[in-house]
Structure 1
């Protein structure tokens, strides 16, 4: 979730949180409502916890050091021995609402690419730009046999939601 405050300098200000995808709720509209309620609760809890946190690992560790730590974690196969809190990252990144240009050419889409960390099988990043919404999906081939099957299922569920919502 974003932790950016009005007046913050440029850059990412984010905090991880865990929430349910409510896959046990059959009706797509009820599922979306349950996810929304759960996300609001998780966000409130994360904000409370963050206000009590003085510093996090990514606040002082350079990316190269984190990369080496993750590689060592994977080389030791610790993800097989230690339980992970999750294996999916979903991010919603609000992009610029106005049209952008590069070297005079109109930018049509901005395709997001989110990080895969140790033990994370899938990263889904949603990025809005102007009136478009683009989705980027990264999958670890060691953990996800057929990412296309997941994408087909996600599209089918989106179609169900749109039909149910009218």
Structure 2
């Protein structure tokens, strides 16, 4: 599941959750990392442009009004169809100051229910990127392996991307 922001840019400063969830099927059968990247991009663009985020936001909003057993049943429906939650949050490009001190790093964890086995959070901030992985130790006893495998895959993708023709795609 991928949370999709439904808030407009002019309302970005407001507190509260305003996102829908969409199920993204990952192209794990594609060996070429560039093909995988473009497949994920294409699938995400199609999902973002669909009514699914608004529909799930509406369902989750209605769930908040229901009695606890009905809430649990509706949330369990989402949980049974979800193996992982991943989100990317773009933060400020320059580091923030608070009371004269520079905030060097920030981090967040994806929202997930007790039945979701893996959560991946990506946050860009101050010219860098933070990755976080949280996992159910029964399903993924060593999440560090995921983190360790990310850097070489990213380096491979970067090298291949630099070899692609530059321009509008």
Q: What is the TM-score normalised by the length of structure 2?
A: 0.75
Displacement of 1:127 after TM fit? 1.1
Q: Against the structure 1 CA distance between its residues 162 and 113, is the aligned structure 2 distance closer, same or farther, given a 3 Å change threshold?
A: same
| Contact kept? 1:113, 1:125, Cα under 8 Å | yes
Work out whether 1:95 is the aligned partner of 2:88. no
Paired position in structure 1 for 2:167: none
Q: Is the strand fraction higher in 1 or 2?
A: 2
CA distance in 1, matches of 2:119, 2:57: 27
Q: Against the structure 1 CA distance between its residues 51 and 141, is the aligned structure 2 distance closer, same or farther, given a 3 Å change threshold?
A: closer
Within-5 A mapping of 1:134-153: 134-153=130-149
- Secondary structure of 1:119's aligned partner: coil
Q: Against the structure 1 CA distance between its residues 153 and 58, is the aligned structure 2 distance closer, same or farther, given a 3 Å change threshold?
A: farther
Paired position in structure 2 for 1:57: 60
Work out whether 1:2 is the aligned partner of 2:5. yes
| Contact kept? 2:20, 2:57, Cα under 8 Å | no
Paired position in structure 2 for 1:105: 101
Displacement of 1:96 after TM fit? 2.3
CA distance in 2, matches of 1:54, 1:31: 28
Paired position in structure 1 for 2:117: 121
| Contact kept? 1:112, 1:134, Cα under 8 Å | no
CA distance in 2, matches of 1:157, 1:103: 39
Work out whether 1:40 is the aligned partner of 2:45. yes
Work out whether 1:30 is the aligned partner of 2:35. yes
- The runs of 5 or more residues in structure 2 that have no matched partner are 163-169
- The runs of 5 or more residues in structure 1 that have no matched partner are none
- Secondary structure of 1:151's aligned partner: helix
CA distance in 2, matches of 1:143, 1:90: 16
Q: Against the structure 1 CA distance between its residues 130 and 59, is the aligned structure 2 distance closer, same or farther, given a 3 Å change threshold?
A: farther
Deviations 1:32-71 (A, max 9, x none): 01110011111122xx245567833346639xx69x949x
CA distance in 2, matches of 1:32, 1:39: 11
